[in-house]
Amino acid sequence: MKHSEFAETYRNRHKLAEGWKKSGKKVFGYFCNYTPEEIIYAAGIIPVRIRGGSENIELADTHLPSICCSYMRSALDQALKGKYNYLDGAVFPKSCDMTRALYSIWKRNIKISYYWNLPIPGKSNDAAVDFYIGELRLFEESLEKYTGKKMGDDSLKQAIKLYNENRALVRELYNLSLRDDPPLSGSEMFEVLRAGLVIPKEEHNAMLRKLLPALSSAKGSQDGKVRLMIAGNTFETVELLQAIEESGANVVVDDVDIGSRYYFSSVNENEEPLRALSERYLRKVLCPCKHNAQHRVYHILKLAKDYQVQGVILLTQKYCDTHLYDRPWLESKLKEEGLPVLVVDHSDIGWVGGKFKTMVQAFVEMVG
């Protein structure tokens, strides 16, 4: 098993999903780290992350202004082009203003038989956790109605266990980057992580179980490179990680939505399942749309220390409001702690490699 097989899996994700459909499975698309996938999985449905891309927008502009983030514009464009025709359902958690608005835009323009709008509180205190348990129950009931089958605590517990196994395996992978000579580069790691968003967790786990032993004994490919961290939100452009590597650096850890923010925190298996899910999603997923910047500063500093990071790239998707409000302060706090910071505005659509590389090269020279 090689990391390139994960990249292959991601590239073929639409074909794979169509294959599952042919074998009688249901497939739901979802947005955002705040979707409690375990519940969808427990209903016997395969959850896949709806992703965008870097291709030019052809159809979405008549429905969505260009001041919206390239992720949402591109995902809508792909759906309008029919790439997501296989979806049986779509779940929109209320996290940022974009997921709120895109729910109605998708529902009106993309023909999918099941839509769910998942309310998420903006706090994570006990009252919010209790409130959210109620919402998760409503979601569960709605899925039971959709499938015609009772879910039961057992299937939910099994799903939680499977997802936690996946998180633990990915954590092992990250642990390899603690070494002075990480066996995977940041871009290779990205492919491994990204594949996990679009295939059933048992398949990702099987792939990881084959990959891990080979990597543990492998000699590091990233020896002596400047160790960087990337923090921000979602992106599709794996080339930007490659550009970093070509500049003599390597991303050894991240705080991005499809990386550690998605994979690191597990669900407490000793608690009542919905309570455990409510606590995990409200308290452990540190996205600025639900959490004060203070939380993320601690989190980033801890990761930076653990992974012996020499610099941080704050990569923000253009037009992502919640990240943009936190960024100036985040930058100043990290610098105060002695961490060099490079601030980058990013858009998957129209990404200019040369410009990015020039910035990164200067940064790597400075911190190296």
Partner 1 sequence: METKQEKPATPFKPPRLAASAALGTLNEIYYRDLANAKQQGRPVVWITSMTPIELVYAFDGIPFFPENYAALCSSRKVAEDLCKAGEARGYSQDLCAYALCTFGVMFEKRGAFGDEGPPAPDILLATQGACMTHPKWWEAMQRHYKCPMIIIDAAYTVDSDTLSPHHREYYASELKETVRLMEKYTNKKLGADKLREVVTFSDQASALWDEIDEMRAAVPTPISQIDVFTCLFALVTLKGTKEAVEFYKQLRDEVKMRVDNKVGFVPNEKFRLVWDMFPIYHNMRLLNYFAEFGAAFVTDLYGNAFSGRLNVADPYGSLADRYLSFFMRAASWGKAELYKKRIKKYHVDGIVFHSNRCCRCFTAEQPDIGNILRDELGLSSLMFEGNMVDPRGYDDTQVKAKIESFIEMLEARKYPKK
Q: Closer to partner 1 by CB, 96 or 173: give it.
A: 96
Q: Is 326 in the site for partner 1 (CB under 8 A)?
A: yes
User: Number of C-alpha atoms within 13 angstroms, CB side, residue 148?
Assistant: 1
Residues with Cβ < 8 Å from 286, sequence gap 6 or more? 255, 261, 295, 296, 299
Q: Where are the alpha helices (DSSP H) in the chain?
A: 3-11, 13-22, 37-42, 70-80, 97-109, 126-147, 152-176, 186-195, 201-217, 239-246, 260-263, 273-283, 293-306, 321-336, 353-367
Please state the closest distance from residue 146 (CB atom) to partner 1, in A: 16
Please state the closest distance from residue 183 (CB atom) to partner 1, in A: 37
Q: Is 103 in the site for partner 1 (CB under 8 A)?
A: yes
Q: Contact, 245 vs 186, CB < 8 A?
A: yes
Smallest CA-to-CA distance from 348 within 131, 15, 69, 128 is with 69
Q: Which of 7, 90, 102, 349 binds partner 1 (CB under 8 A)?
A: 102
Please state the closest distance from residue 59 (CB atom) to partner 1, in A: 12
Q: Closer to partner 1 by CB, 109 or 268: give it.
A: 109
Q: Is 70 exposed, middle or buried (0-12, 13-18, 19+ CB in 10 A)?
A: buried
Q: Closer to partner 1 by CB, 61 or 269: give it.
A: 61
Please state the closest distance from residue 269 (CB atom) to partner 1, in A: 26
Q: Is 350 in the site for partner 1 (CB under 8 A)?
A: no
Residues with Cβ < 8 Å from 282, sequence gap 6 or more? 120, 121, 123, 124, 128, 129, 132, 290
Q: Which of 65, 148, 338, 354 binds partner 1 (CB under 8 A)?
A: 65
DSSP assignment of 158-213, as one string? HHHHHHHHHHHHHHHHHHHTTSSS-SS-HHHHHHHHHHTTTS-HHHHHHHHHHHHH
- The structure tokens listed for 120 are 């998420």
Q: Is 337 in the site for partner 1 (CB under 8 A)?
A: no
Q: Is 119 in the site for partner 1 (CB under 8 A)?
A: yes
Q: Closer to partner 1 by CB, 139 or 174: give it.
A: 139
Applying CB under 8 A, the span of 42-50, 51-59, 266-274, 283-291 interacting with partner 1 comes to 283-291
Q: Which of 114, 131, 264, 351 binds partner 1 (CB under 8 A)?
A: 131
Q: Is 157 in the site for partner 1 (CB under 8 A)?
A: no
Q: Is 29 in the site for partner 1 (CB under 8 A)?
A: no
Q: Which of 328, 335, 353, 355 binds partner 1 (CB under 8 A)?
A: 328
Rounded distance between C-alpha atoms, residue 332 and residue 232, angstroms:
15
Q: Is 111 in the site for partner 1 (CB under 8 A)?
A: no
Count the residues of the shown chain that bind partner 1, applying the rule CB under 8 A: 51
Q: What are phi and psi of 111, to 5 degrees?
A: -80, 105
Q: Is 120 in the site for partner 1 (CB under 8 A)?
A: yes
Q: Closer to partner 1 by CB, 62 or 217: give it.
A: 62
Q: Is 329 in the site for partner 1 (CB under 8 A)?
A: yes
Please state the closest distance from residue 333 (CB atom) to partner 1, in A: 10
Rounded distance between C-alpha atoms, residue 88 and residue 84, angstroms:
9
Q: Is 322 in the site for partner 1 (CB under 8 A)?
A: yes
List Cα–Cα distances, 345 to 130, 180, 229, 348, 354, in angstroms.
37, 29, 16, 10, 14
Residues that bind partner 1 (CB under 8 A): 62-65, 67-68, 92, 94, 96-98, 100-105, 107-109, 117-123, 127-128, 131, 134-135, 288-290, 292-293, 318-319, 321-322, 324-329, 331-332, 343, 345
